[in-house]
């Protein structure tokens, strides 16, 4: 991401543009308020967020007109989000846009075109050019300020299909029950948080279950019984003489395996190939394995199903 503190070359770096007519998106005719939600989980378009509009100090009505114009006149080459295609470059992060103030640099290029570079003169009026510039500045501001991003609607799936996947191909019902452990989950989390939680249930916490992963055993502090939950990663270590040790996994890699036993005592032994034998028990392993199999529709459908469990 480019930030405002980056050194910007002189304006002699001319942006290579390619503008061509494209079909106007139907959403462009929607009222601006319908396109600029302030809460996660709502439908939105790419006009811009309220925070980006305020921060970039652009006129909302001009930005809305600019979005419609850009989509119709420029999106065919630069893409509907102005982030470039194989026909024309990214405008949002372009040096010319980053250097631009009030359209003084990019405006003349949009107005006159660059026929020698494949960009036609589209016959736009000065107010139309100003509107396109205003919209582009909102997009550039958004790219430079993460907090202004919009969270688009996560509930685009089919809850019935999600339920079928839950009970069928996903085999989620082997571990979960909508009437028990998942009861009310749709009311507990918003759609985006809910989707992240079921896709990566150990997100932000200990990874465990893999080389170099930690199982949440609590580290090497004073002896204390390790916290154990339904997601805790445990390990069974079988020594060469057949003696077995069980506990909460602390760490495992090619060279060592470490764990805490039920009393909280920390243990660590060296590994030499398959000796000692290490068996890791990760209750969330199924989630990890399924990540490789999900289709986009599966993710949205399951999210819709879970969100319906109020």
pLDDT tens-digit map of 123-132: 899 999 999 9
pLDDT category, 222, cuts 50, 70, 90? low
The answer to whether residue 292 scores a pLDDT higher than 70 is yes
pLDDT tens-digit map of 111-159: 988 888 888 888 899 999 999 999 999 988 888 887 776 666 678 899 9
pLDDT category, 28, cuts 50, 70, 90? very low
| Token code pair at residue 298 | 């599966």
Give the mean model confidence (pLDDT) for residues 71-78.
88
| Token code pair at residue 174 | 């082997």
* List of residues 6+ apart from 50 with CB closer than 8 A: 36, 38
Most confident residue range from 115-119, 169-173, 217-221, 293-297:
169-173
Range from 80-84, 244-248, 254-258, 270-274 carrying the lowest mean pLDDT = 80-84
* List of residues 6+ apart from 44 with CB closer than 8 A: 35, 36, 37, 150, 152, 153
Long-range pairs for 184-192 at CB < 8 Å and ≥24 separation? 184/309, 184/310, 185/306, 185/309, 186/306, 186/307, 186/308, 186/309, 186/310, 187/310, 190/40, 190/41, 191/40, 191/41, 191/153, 191/154, 191/155, 191/303, 191/307, 192/40, 192/41, 192/151, 192/154
CA atoms of 302 and 164, how far apart (whole Å)? 9
DSSP 241: T
Q: How many CA atoms lie within 13 A of 130 on its CB side?
A: 9
pLDDT mean across residues, the chain: 78
Q: What is the pLDDT of residue 43?
A: 41
pLDDT category, 38, cuts 50, 70, 90? very low
pLDDT tens-digit map of 270-289: 999 999 999 999 988 888 88
Say if CB 89 and CB 78 are below 8 A apart.
yes
């Amino acid at each position: 991401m480019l930030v405002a503190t980056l050194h910007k070359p002189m304006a002699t770096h001319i942006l290579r543009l390619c503008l061509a007519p494209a079909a106007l998106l139907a959403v462009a005719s929607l009222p601006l308020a319908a396109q600029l939600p302030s809460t996660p989980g709502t439908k939105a378009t790419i006009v811009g967020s309220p925070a980006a509009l305020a921060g970039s100090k652009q006129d909302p009505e001009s930005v809305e007109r600019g979005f419609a114009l850009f989509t119709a006149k420029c999106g065919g080459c630069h893409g509907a989000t102005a982030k470039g295609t194989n026909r024309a470059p990214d405008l949002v992060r372009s040096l010319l846009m980053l250097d631009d103030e009030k359209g003084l640099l990019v405006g003349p290029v949009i107005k006159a075109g660059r026929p020698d570079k494949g960009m036609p003169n589209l016959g736009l009026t000065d107010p139309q050019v100003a509107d396109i510039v205003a919209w582009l500045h909102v997009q550039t501001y958004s790219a430079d300020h993460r907090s202004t991003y919009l969270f688009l609607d996560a509930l685009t799936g089919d809850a019935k299909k999600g339920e079928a996947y839950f009970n069928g191909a996903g085999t989620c019902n082997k571990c979960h029950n909508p009437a028990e452990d998942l009861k009310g989950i749709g009311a507990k989390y918003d759609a985006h948080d809910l989707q992240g939680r079921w896709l990566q249930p150990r997100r932000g916490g200990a990874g465990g279950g893999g080389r170099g992963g930690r199982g949440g055993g609590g580290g090497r502090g004073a002896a204390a019984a390790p916290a154990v939950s339904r997601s805790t990663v445990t390990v069974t270590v079988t020594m060469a003489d057949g003696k077995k040790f069980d506990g909460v996994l602390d760490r495992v890699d090619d060279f060592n395996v470490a764990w805490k036993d039920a009393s909280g005592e920390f243990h660590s032994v060296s590994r030499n190939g398959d000796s000692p034998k290490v068996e890791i028990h990760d209750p969330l392993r199924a989630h990890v394995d399924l990540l490789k199999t999900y289709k986009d529709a599966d993710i949205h459908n399951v999210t819709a199903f879970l969100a319906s469990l109020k």
